[in-house]
Structure 1
Amino acid sequence: MGIKHWLGPAALFLLVTLGAPLLAAGEIAPNENLFVDGIPPLPASLAEAVSRYTEFRTATLTSWHPSRREILILTRFADTNQVHRVQMPGGARSQLTFYPDRVQAASYPPRPRGNYFVFSKDTGGNEFSQNYRYDLDTGRVTLLTDGRSRNSPGVWSTAGDRVAYTSTRRNGKDTDLYIEDPREPRSDRKLTDLEGGGWQPLDWSPDDRRLLALEEISINESYLWLFDAASGERTLLTPRGLPEKIAYGDARFSGDGRGLYLTSDRGSEFLQLQYLDLNTRRYRSLSAAIPWDVESFELSQDGRHLAFVTNEAGISRLHLLDTATGRTRAVPKLPVGLIANLDWRANNQELAFNLSTARSPADVYSWNIATDRIERWTTSELGGLNPASLAEPQLVNWPSFDKRTISGFLYRPPAKFTGRRPVIINIHGGPESQYRPGFLGRNNYLIDELGVAIVFPNVRGSSGYGKTFVQLDNGFKREDSVKDIGALLDWIATQPDLDPERVMVTGGSYGGYMTLAVATRYNDRIRCSLDVVGISNFVSFLERTESYRRDLRRVEYGDERDPKMREFLLAISPANNAARITRPLFVVQGKNDPRVPLKESEQMVETVKQGGSPVWYLMATDEGHGFAKKKNADFQFYSTVAFIQRYLLNQ
């Protein structure tokens, strides 16, 4: 695999007894799950210097209790996020699950007395998640799925006695629809076979006789279906074959079951909040006056109030709709940031949500719509950092090669750093994601202590700017997004406080591909690059990514089985252009990654090393698509800081 050494338990013992340089006194040893190649010894002083920036926490809202005023959250006290219970605003976080792998979702049933909840987790980042029941009276955990396939967390029935979820257990590729009573795992049954990996259940009708599901073909094309919850008989609600491809986001039954509230870009550049009458099939727009995406919404259990969040140039705005009148009402002023995970309490008056800002990690708040009172349920630690000193983002714009305006968010270092500052360009994944200005976490160290400016571009193909913009990098237009970074390099050169001679590019997943593509196309204009779980060869990626997601990726990147497209994909793939890279490269990968397989990083590392360029490589045997375990993420950050100091800052 081209790895010089693996620090397993036996190797650690030998290195200690032999006094190997990597484990000499005063140096940081990688843990037993990390492969390292080319990374020099890291001084212990580095871990001490960055420690305050690695000890922050977040709190992710997952569920209200069905009868008591308390919530479940995900937060980390050891190495990974686990389920915790919080019984009042500002109350203690009581840990309920204890696993080496992170828990990804947890929810109470909406109706019964709430003596159990269902949670979901995978193993080693492999994304083959399993569902479990946690009994609060005993602490006993019961496996609800088959232990092998990939399963979604699912959605609760209105009565709270069943969960509808998808699973790949039939053939490993297609996500079929299943129904189960979590109190009795033997009740698990397949409702129907489905074709493709883009299916997800959304909601049950108020009488629990029908199930609403989404079939996603791509970010620009999806369909809503109704299923009979007993027979599995299906009805297509949104017709195929229309001249305009339509994307549907989320959808919920109205309180009376006669219609659906949904988000759709039908007749619009953006996802609008709409109401669909199930009898007449007529649509009514509820957010036409807002020229931005409605990114999420949640309907109260009595159907009277609908809370929704808009994404306005990357900033979240909360709205509240009275479903009887169609009017929105004023919402209390919240800090500028990102709002997510809306959840109504069963009393229909209290809305809980997550809020994160540049100066605060994600925490849980609630809003009582009767009293207008906002309460903070969690206050996540910042590791001793002063939040007032953390950099806030500036929205910046630059013209690209075709005169199209591209935007991003720039974080400048504090005034104590003088002169033109080195720059890190950090490119998001997706590719249809969008960088949004939340909490930067460890990256604050680079700004505050190293004096590096960071810009997060939203190149063409990013979501949040309309459906035309998101398609501008599809298929044969793939490299146009890379040219947007070339235009950003031009813009950096025009800024009096930014240094165009000291630029590093980095990104994860699709952002990793962009990093490698920039390194091949603009090698002479950057100092170094850091690729995290990035695609290096589109053909080998499409042939090896897990089968349940392969067709979805072909819609975006192109079908490698088509000869002309295959030729194009091979021509632009960074691994086939790696000879152009002469600047230092750092590659990070999880061994269990089902999205961008290990081979993508291995072949890039080997090819660049053959050209003689400095290459650092870090691989975790217990991670998948990015590092989720704190001990691994910390070592990755120590190595990143050392890489930046050596190759970007010349320290």
Structure 2
Amino acid sequence: MVTPNMVTPNRFIRLLGCGVAAAALALPGLTTAKPATAQTTTNGAAMTTQAEAAPLIPRDALFGNPTRAAGQISPNGEWLSWLAPRDGVLNIWIAPAGNPDAARAMTSATDRPIRQHFWSPDSRAVMYIQDKGGDENYLLYRVDVTSGEETTVTPFENTRIEIVGSSNTIKDKLLLGINNRDPQWHDVHLLDLATGELTLVLENNAYAGFMADDSLTLRMAMQQNEAGGTDYFRVEDGTVEGEPFETTDMEDSLTTAPAGYTTDGDTLYWIDSRGRNTAALFAQDTATGERRLIAEDDKADIGNTLRDPQTGEIEAYAVNYLKTEWTATDPATRASLGWLGERLDGEFGINSRTDDDSVWIIWNDPLTKPTATYIYDRKAQTLSPFYVSRPELEGMPLQPMHGIEIASRDGLTLPSYLTLPPGSDADGDARPDSPVPMVLLVHGGPWARDGYGFNSIHQMLANRGYGVLSVNFRGSTGFGKDFLNAANKQWGLKMHDDLIDAVDWAVDQGIAQADKVAIMGGSYGGYATLAGLTFTPETFACGVDIVGPSNLETLLSTIPPYWAPMVKIFHERMGDPGTEEGRALLQAASPLYKADRITKPLLIAQGANDPRVKQAESDQIVGAMKSAGIPVTYVLYPDEGHGFAKPANNIAFFAIAENFLAECIGGRAEPLGDALESSSAQIIEGDEYVKGMEAAAGG
């Protein structure tokens, strides 16, 4: 089975909401994984003998640096590249494709890890984007392969760049969107990769985004309309036409988007839900406007596509319901995917491809073994090991993830994922032999989704003795626009009901102990945690909120300026603070106003530089709880943003979280030890409520 890393090289994704899921807060681990010594707090919860006997997976092995990650091959096939630690910080490394052992570090980041990189189209440089302290003002950097010289391509302050276009035929240029003139708007510039010169192509004062063809000619501009949908305008000779050639209403705004042009510019692909529920894949003739249906699915949207590197034509497409299924439309691609499927267990996908499509970099997630990456030579039909990202997890008791369907009280089907503690499910039927403590792990977005595969948070929590349930509640993406739009203006209402229904289901099925269910999540998942402890205070035994908003009015009033062109979608889907009705809706859905109803332990973690969910969102609910005499534990990271990028900070957070949960719902925990010493964690409130934290914090 092939999974979603097979994407169009030019694809650009803009997140419309606070889209960091809890699982995305963690980077894979790099240590020698020796079974850790556990402390167990039963607190009335019965753990299985098998779960207690399973080796404790060290936090470092799950949330520290990977040994290697993000493997790529240069477009010309001459170089391999990857991310790996250099003096403890993730940096970019390269090696000749014919001699992977001759590796050298190309960057020298000493503080914030480099988390993604890509090759310049001409294969002469590796490039990456980086922000400062999690502020999401991403600048673009280039490192010359021959000289090793590193340059800042966009040397501006308080600027966020976007990749507007790259080309398979014009190797020495890129189109960039840069908002250094006005933070609300990204002007389009042509970057000369050889000289670093930036040439203004279009000054932008109206449009949320652009799309170019392979000739790096702007062909389309996007603008949010009054209905909360999107208008799509043709661009001719650098001028945006006055009337849109395509438009969507709000109901299709998150399920319809152009998916790129073929190299000759004659065909424009769309993933489109207009006039239907699930988004289908269409090809549109750019001259006549005629559209041709390529693929559709009744249960889920068409997701990613695999495109021919030379022609830009679609070779395969993906549908992701409980798992991702790929269908090849090109015979050679079908043969290659079939060949790989016969040799790889679990999930696999493509990280990178050469321009001639002869070599693929393949990742493989065996699900209960560490993820591995291979070099696949399509002509020679060879699959050569490249690296294992987490070799320290070899032999550790990793648990399978189960895809399940849960019914909501009003008849929706909620695609969900369950992981159980080791030894708790003797017959493998996704039901433990007896109920276990459970953590409801809620994804961010909310316009995002949980998916199938290795998840370091699932693995840690299951290893500590908990069932872990992740629910695609209404509003999650990928399951059709009806499911998505069922969440409109339902924050704290039906969206929350779905989570409660999932907990009730788990209790009814004998999976969870009713009095030992915790709720945990990041971003929207953090909001859901606060909502869970305020709106339904008797359902959960405790909560862990990671960068979650507490007041939806202040959340919307402090969105980053580059989101302003799309603000209508927030108002239509959450509530318009400019109207009395909208303000009332937002206030009613804000946990801040019900903070005095919190009766269960709460752990809050926040990045001080978060541009999406400002520190004030956590400060104000902590302040409200203190005023009401309600205990809370509050951890602040001064060098982080919307999630935790630095492994030391990640490890410190999960050290606190697992000890907090052990006290609350009775599982195992690796002792806190010195986990806080190398992190920036500041314990603002409540160090006395987590075992070992007073001593670790110097209290």
**Which category describes the TM-score, using the shorter chain as reference length?**
0.7 to 0.9
C-alpha displacement at 1:372, in angstroms?
5.3
- CA distance in structure 1 between the aligned counterparts of 2:365 and 2:79, rounded to whole angstroms: 21
Tell me the alpha carbon deviations over residues 229-263 of structure 1, each in whole angstroms, 9 at most, x when there is no partner: x6354587742377974643452322432112332
Contact persistence 1:89–1:377 (CA under 8 A): no
- CA distance in structure 2 between the aligned counterparts of 1:293 and 1:370, rounded to whole angstroms: 33
What residue is the counterpart of 1:175 in the other structure? 186
Contact persistence 1:337–1:357 (CA under 8 A): yes
Contact persistence 1:352–1:365 (CA under 8 A): yes
Tell me the alpha carbon deviations over residues 417-452 of structure 1, each in whole angstroms, 9 at most, x when there is no partner: 97421000000001011111222225423212x211
Which of 291, 297, 302 lines up with 1:294 in the alignment?
Answer: 302
Which has the larger displacement, 414-423 or 596-605? 414-423
Which of 496, 502, 513 lines up with 1:488 in the alignment?
Answer: 502
Which of 590, 596, 600 lines up with 1:573 in the alignment?
Answer: 590
- CA distance in structure 1 between the aligned counterparts of 2:362 and 2:453, rounded to whole angstroms: 15
- CA distance in structure 1 between the aligned counterparts of 2:629 and 2:467, rounded to whole angstroms: 29
Question: What does 1:167-206 correspond to in 2, within 5 Å?
Answer: 167-195=178-206, 198-201=208-211, 203-205=212-214
What residue is the counterpart of 1:85 in the other structure? 94
- CA distance in structure 1 between the aligned counterparts of 2:95 and 2:270, rounded to whole angstroms: 31
C-alpha displacement at 1:588, in angstroms?
0.5
- CA distance in structure 1 between the aligned counterparts of 2:383 and 2:57, rounded to whole angstroms: 38
Question: What does 1:511-550 correspond to in 2, within 5 Å?
Answer: 511-550=525-564
- CA distance in structure 2 between the aligned counterparts of 1:268 and 1:345, rounded to whole angstroms: 37
Contact persistence 2:440–2:518 (CA under 8 A): yes
- CA distance in structure 1 between the aligned counterparts of 2:370 and 2:219, rounded to whole angstroms: 36
Rate the CA distance shift 1:526–1:89 in 2: closer, same or farther, 3 A. farther
3-state SS, counterpart of residue 283 of structure 2: strand
Which of 617, 620, 638 lines up with 2:637 in the alignment?
Answer: 620
Which has the larger displacement, 639-648 or 212-221? 212-221
Q: How many residues are aligned here?
A: 598
5+ residue gaps, structure 1, are: 1-25, 27-45
Rate the CA distance shift 1:395–1:503 in 2: closer, same or farther, 3 A. same
Which of 113, 119, 125 lines up with 1:116 in the alignment?
Answer: 125
- CA distance in structure 2 between the aligned counterparts of 1:494 and 1:386, rounded to whole angstroms: 34
Q: Relative contact order: is structure 1 or structure 2 higher (C-alpha 8 Å, sep ≥ 6)?
A: 2
The one-letter code of the counterpart of 1:119 is: Y
What residue is the counterpart of 1:592 in the other structure? 609
The one-letter code of the counterpart of 1:597 is: K
- CA distance in structure 2 between the aligned counterparts of 1:290 and 1:331, rounded to whole angstroms: 24
Q: 2:293 aligned with 1:285, yes or no?
A: yes
What residue is the counterpart of 1:447 in the other structure? 462
C-alpha displacement at 1:69, in angstroms?
3.9
The one-letter code of the counterpart of 2:440 is: I
Tell me the alpha carbon deviations over residues 76-103 of structure 1, each in whole angstroms, 9 at most, x when there is no partner: 4555543222544993464322222233
Which has the larger displacement, 574-583 or 82-91? 82-91
Rate the CA distance shift 1:355–1:553 in 2: closer, same or farther, 3 A. farther
| Percent of aligned pairs sharing the same letter | 22
Q: 2:388 aligned with 1:379, yes or no?
A: yes
What residue is the counterpart of 1:148 in the other structure? 158
- CA distance in structure 2 between the aligned counterparts of 1:138 and 1:267, rounded to whole angstroms: 54
Tell me the alpha carbon deviations over residues 18-57 of structure 1, each in whole angstroms, 9 at most, x when there is no partner: xxxxxxxx9xxxxxxxxxxxxxxxxxxx999544444462
TM-score w.r.t. the length of structure 2 is 0.78
What residue is the counterpart of 1:427 in the other structure? 442
Q: 2:344 aligned with 1:310, yes or no?
A: no
Contact persistence 2:139–2:153 (CA under 8 A): yes
Question: What does 1:361-372 correspond to in 2, within 5 Å?
Answer: 363-370=372-379
3-state SS, counterpart of residue 602 of structure 1: helix
Rate the CA distance shift 1:563–1:469 in 2: closer, same or farther, 3 A. same
What residue is the counterpart of 1:346 in the other structure? 355
Q: 2:253 aligned with 1:239, yes or no?
A: no
Tell me the alpha carbon deviations over residues 587-642 of structure 1, each in whole angstroms, 9 at most, x when there is no partner: 00000100101100111112123333331111111110000100100100110111
- CA distance in structure 2 between the aligned counterparts of 1:144 and 1:316, rounded to whole angstroms: 37
Contact persistence 1:271–1:292 (CA under 8 A): yes
Contact persistence 1:432–1:463 (CA under 8 A): yes
What residue is the counterpart of 2:692 in the other structure? none
Contact persistence 1:535–1:601 (CA under 8 A): yes
Contact persistence 1:180–1:188 (CA under 8 A): yes
C-alpha displacement at 1:189, in angstroms?
1.9
Which has the larger displacement, 390-399 or 353-362? 353-362
- CA distance in structure 2 between the aligned counterparts of 1:562 and 1:359, rounded to whole angstroms: 51
What residue is the counterpart of 1:332 in the other structure? 339
The one-letter code of the counterpart of 2:238 is: S
Rate the CA distance shift 1:326–1:286 in 2: closer, same or farther, 3 A. farther
- Give the superposed CA RMSD: 3.4
- CA distance in structure 2 between the aligned counterparts of 1:641 and 1:374, rounded to whole angstroms: 39
C-alpha displacement at 1:547, in angstroms?
2.1
5+ residue gaps, structure 2, are: 1-36, 38-54, 426-432, 669-699
3-state SS, counterpart of residue 180 of structure 2: coil
Which of 451, 456, 461 lines up with 2:475 in the alignment?
Answer: 461
- CA distance in structure 1 between the aligned counterparts of 2:92 and 2:371, rounded to whole angstroms: 15
Contact persistence 1:156–1:163 (CA under 8 A): yes
Tell me the alpha carbon deviations over residues 176-221 of structure 1, each in whole angstroms, 9 at most, x when there is no partner: 322221322333325231425x4254x423x444445655779994
Contact persistence 1:316–1:337 (CA under 8 A): no
What residue is the counterpart of 2:269 in the other structure? 261
Rate the CA distance shift 1:527–1:162 in 2: closer, same or farther, 3 A. same
3-state SS, counterpart of residue 399 of structure 2: coil
C-alpha displacement at 1:401, in angstroms?
2.4
- CA distance in structure 1 between the aligned counterparts of 2:261 and 2:174, rounded to whole angstroms: 16
Q: 2:601 aligned with 1:563, yes or no?
A: no
3-state SS, counterpart of residue 523 of structure 1: coil
Q: 2:416 aligned with 1:408, yes or no?
A: yes
Rate the CA distance shift 1:443–1:328 in 2: closer, same or farther, 3 A. closer
3-state SS, counterpart of residue 456 of structure 2: coil
Contact persistence 1:503–1:528 (CA under 8 A): yes
What residue is the counterpart of 1:5 in the other structure? none
Contact persistence 1:174–1:195 (CA under 8 A): yes
Question: What does 1:381-396 correspond to in 2, within 5 Å?
Answer: 381-386=390-395, 389-396=397-404
TM-score w.r.t. the length of structure 1 is 0.83
C-alpha displacement at 1:350, in angstroms?
3.3
Rate the CA distance shift 1:75–1:271 in 2: closer, same or farther, 3 A. farther
